[in-house]
Amino acid sequence: MAQAAKGAAAADEARLMVETSSTLERLTAATRHIALLAAIIATCGSLFFSEVLFWIPCKLCWYQRILMYPLVPILLVGIARDDRGIHWYGLPLSLAGVAVSLAHYLEVLGIIPPSACVGSVPCSIDYLTPILTGPLSFIKIPFLALVAFAIISVMLGNYAIAGAPPTPPGQRRATVLTAVAIVVVTIAVFVLLGLLW
């Protein structure tokens, strides 16, 4: 009887390990899609701010855009080609974006002195201050960019640490369709918001 109980416990433990391993593999496979979602939302959001709300981007905002915008096609093509080296060319952009966004955010908060920002808009300006007050006053545009770059960096870093597993052959089409759907639906939502604004 005791041996049967030990055998059942061992079987349960083995089943749990297989389920956990399968869940981790699915999460690792989804990291590229999560990074793509963060990149396309940040890209569309920045365009919404400047083209719909007519908020003029400062010089540091442009640097962040320069680092963010290429991530959308890089991640989309990398997913479509099942490129296992996607982190090698996605991570440098996202990590540089984290650095620029963090510096910009600290400047907007007044923690570091203003940079010599040349242009029609000073880099210390914050369009969200009149809108988000109280406990949400910490949210600034550079903070939003920082969060997006951090999500992308963590997701691509996770993918790299997991050994950049390939997509199983039977799931390639679904993986590509999911990536395309992420881009198309996000763009459609922002276009609709722009039309309704």
Domain chopping of the chain, boundaries: 35-196
Work out the angle at residue 23's Cα, subtended by the Cα atoms of residues 168 and 42, and round it to the nearest 5 degrees: 80
- What is the pLDDT at residue 12? 56
pLDDT for residue 4 is more than 60 = no
Q: Considering the entire predicted model, what is its pTM?
A: 0.85
Confidence at residue 168, expressed as pLDDT on a 0 to 100 scale: 82
How confident is the model over 45-59, as a mean pLDDT?
A: 94
Q: pLDDT higher for 66 or 29?
A: 66
Closest by CA to 68, choosing from 89, 33, 40, 88, is 40
C-alpha distances out from residue 118 to 49, 114, 121, 146, Å: 20, 11, 8, 22
Q: What is the pLDDT of residue 21?
A: 56
Q: What is the pLDDT of residues 168-182, one digit of tens each?
A: 888 889 999 999 999
Mean pLDDT value across residues 17-43: 81
Burial class (CB in 10 A: 0-12, 13-18, 19+), 30: middle
Structure tokens that stand for 134 in this block: 């109280």
Q: What is the percent of the chain where pLDDT is above 90? A: 62
What is the C-alpha to C-alpha distance for residues 62 and 131, in angstroms, rounded to an integer? 22
pLDDT for the residue 164: 83
% the chain with pLDDT above 70: 89
